[in-house]
Amino acid sequence: MSVEVERKFICSEDTLKTLEEIGVCVGQRQFHDQYFDTPEFELTLRDLWLRKRKGCWELKSPVDMVNGTEEPNGEGSLCTRYKEITDLPEIYKTVKEVVNEAVKEACKDGESGPSQDDDSWLGKLNLVCFAEFTTVRRSFTLGGGVQIDLDQADFGYRVGEIEVLIPEGGDVQCAQEKIRNAAQKLGLAGNERVEGKMDVYLRTYHPEHYAKLLAAHVF
């Protein structure tokens, strides 16, 4: 399992020019994401993000700093850290643990577990699609395990992310340091949090869901 440490940024023309000078473009791809939750938002209110991308299931769950001594407004507060679970039985187990008791009970009998080509487990866990959009992504590498993605979502939002993948239990502070260096090279000055695609999607299309996540300090 890997942990994705990342910082989002708004890519100005100047930043793009610098990126094209100092980075290596490793390709462009397009993908469609579908995100799932219960009607009571039991997953997203816990900052759990279940999605299907290119036919594969992924669950992103937040990673806490063990000895987190982050200075406020430092790189740590700009970076998010999420564990990426891609093993479907593991995803199912994690999701089942957080959905409400009534649903859990209903799943107890004749439980066979999910399979990649059968999505009936979604209905059993009361999961419905609450967001779907397509992204065109251009990726660059800066070396040292630093990847930069420039995303254009089909609902009109553009955002960049600097990301470093580390193994679970790996050195988050080292990853944050690499991200800080990359941000400096790209001339990113601001210290304010930049919205992700989901923030903008929910704020625009599902303001009630968005308000609940804001109130729960997920966004």
Positions in the binding site for ligand V4E (CB under 6 A): 8, 49, 60, 80, 82, 135, 161, 196-198, 218-219
CA atoms of 77 and 8, how far apart (whole Å) = 12
Enter the DSSP assignment of 41. -
Q: Which is nearer to ligand V4E, 52 or 196 (CB)?
A: 196
CA atoms of 2 and 206, how far apart (whole Å) = 30
Q: Which is nearer to ligand V4E, 36 or 82 (CB)?
A: 82
Output the smallest distance, CB 110 to ligand V4E, in A: 32
CB neighbour list of residue 114: distance below 8 Å, 6 or more residues apart: 88, 89, 91, 92, 120, 121
Q: Which is nearer to ligand V4E, 8 or 99 (CB)?
A: 8
Q: Which is nearer to ligand V4E, 148 or 218 (CB)?
A: 218
Output the smallest distance, CB 117 to ligand V4E, in A: 22
Output the smallest distance, CB 9 to ligand V4E, in A: 10
With H, G, I as helix, E, B as strand and everything else as coil, classify residue 25.
strand
Output the smallest distance, CB 112 to ligand V4E, in A: 28
Tokens of 71: 């200075």
Output the smallest distance, CB 142 to ligand V4E, in A: 16
Judge contact between 57 and 86, C-beta under 8 A.
yes
Tokens of 124: 């059993």
Tokens of 185: 């090279």
Give me the DSSP letters along 126-163: T-EEEEEEEEEEEEEEEETTEEEEEEEETTS-EEEEEE
Output the smallest distance, CB 148 to ligand V4E, in A: 11
Beta-bridge partners for 34: 52, 132
Q: Which is nearer to ligand V4E, 115 or 141 (CB)?
A: 141
Q: Which is nearer to ligand V4E, 78 or 125 (CB)?
A: 78
